[in-house]
Structure 1
Amino acid sequence: WTECTEAVKTSYDQLLGRWKEEMDTLLVYAGVSSAVLTAFNVESYHLLQPEPADPTLAVLKQISAQLNGYTLTPPFLNATNTTGLTQVPFQAPASAVWLNSLRFSSLVFSFAAALLALFVKQWLYEGMVPGTSPESARLRQYRFNGLLKWRVGTVVVVLPILLQLASILFLAGLLVLLWTLHNIVAAIASVLVGLVFTFVIGFTLLPVFKSDCSYRSP
């Protein structure tokens, strides 16, 4: 009995330990990713707002509008229109809308992954059972059955996917920004991003076709 419970406890502790290590790594990456995304989003959300009015520029526009409203009919100077400039409703460019949609979606995925990772760490902590007594063994099996029933392992697998989606959305937003600034820089960045995606897809699909491939993930 002792050897059996020791073997089960070792296997159970190794499983929880591996999941905890994955959550620790994920939290570090999510923290770095969120910090980078926040820095970019602070700059990009201004594109969705009209530029603040410059008082000097507003006065000059008003003077220009008034001067354009005068007509010269010798020997008189008539004011035909002095109502000023018509305010045109602000509409954000489509590129700004796409850019912010991608970046803020990426930030949401990153924060969601970090938040769920914290929950998983708490679940794993509650699932730990010390000792090898019969009572501990029954409780350990009960906790393990609960982990399987509520698919905690599936949650652990999904969290890295959320971070991968966040990275993809960020790179897509980066390309949207670059294509609005400079075509050559955008083309180079697009090629590099394409190479990254090619490697990622290759690393993901190779284990499907090659059983001895070590590029495996949960």
Structure 2
Amino acid sequence: MLGAAADSLDILLVFAGLFSAVLTTFVAQTSQSLSIDNSAVTVSLLVELVSVQRAALTGASLSDIASANLSPAIERTNIWVNALWFTSLALSLASALLAVLCKQWLRQYISFSAVSARERALIRQFRYDGMEKWAVRTIIGLLPTILHLALGLFLVLEYTS
């Protein structure tokens, strides 16, 4: 039971690490589309400044000059893509964290100090009861589902964007 669980956790950790690294690259690139385009803001402010100077030279009213557009033009699709990719990354990292915790539980489960056979049996039963209480096998079984969900979010958005 423990060997199979530890092996599957090793595979999950490798996959979660590789997937998180790839996803982080995508998130780093697409998250730049959420920031304000500084060059567009600069151009808009320069146009307004030139208009103010022309109005001052010609004696025209300053109230007729259009103010600079400083609001960022962020598309809704960029917001959705980034939100779902960040969610995918969070799920991937959460599954990696849970896998590490499960590996620690399994390692603790099989570790024994130099005690009598009776004490080892009592300790083993106590640890087994704790694993059942905390549903460690269920958590290990859910980790692939969490990673599949994260991968699904990534792939759906990758092909729709």
* Interval containing the TM-score (normalised by the shorter chain): 0.7 to 0.9
Name the counterpart of 2:25.
39
RMSD: 2.9
Shift of 1:100: 0.4
1:129–1:139 CA contact under 8 A, matched in 2:
no
Larger RCO (alpha carbons 8 Å, 6+ apart): 2
Change (3 A) 1:112 1:55: closer
1:27 to 13, 18, 32: 13
The question of 1:127 aligning with 2:113 is answered: no
Name the counterpart of 1:185.
none
Shift of 1:143: 1.9
**Structure 1: how far apart are the matches of 2:45 and 2:125?**
77
Which blocks of at least 5 consecutive residues in structure 1 are unaligned? Answer: 1-14, 71-76, 178-218
Shift of 1:55: 8.7
Name the counterpart of 1:149.
133
**Structure 1: how far apart are the matches of 2:45 and 2:106?**
65
User: Larger C-alpha radius of gyration, 1 or 2?
Assistant: 1
TM-score by length of 1: 0.62
Q: For 1:21-68, what per-residue CA distance to the aligned partner results, in whole angstroms no more than 9, with x for missing partners?
A: 111100000000100010000111111111122697457634764598
Of all paired residues, the percent bearing the same amino acid is 33
Change (3 A) 1:91 1:59: closer
Specify the code of the residue in structure 2 equivalent to 1:153: R
Shift of 1:83: 4.5
TM-score by length of 2: 0.81
1:98–1:176 CA contact under 8 A, matched in 2:
no
**Structure 2: how far apart are the matches of 1:151 and 1:159?**
13
1:110 to 87, 92, 110: 92
Specify the code of the residue in structure 2 equivalent to 1:79: A
Shift of 1:20: 0.8
**Structure 2: how far apart are the matches of 1:33 and 1:106?**
10
Specify the code of the residue in structure 2 equivalent to 1:95: T
**Equivalenced residues, count:** 157
Shift of 1:135: 3.2
Change (3 A) 1:20 1:149: same
Specify the code of the residue in structure 1 equivalent to 2:16: A
Name the counterpart of 1:92.
74
Specify the code of the residue in structure 2 equivalent to 1:92: I
2:44–2:69 CA contact under 8 A, matched in 1:
no
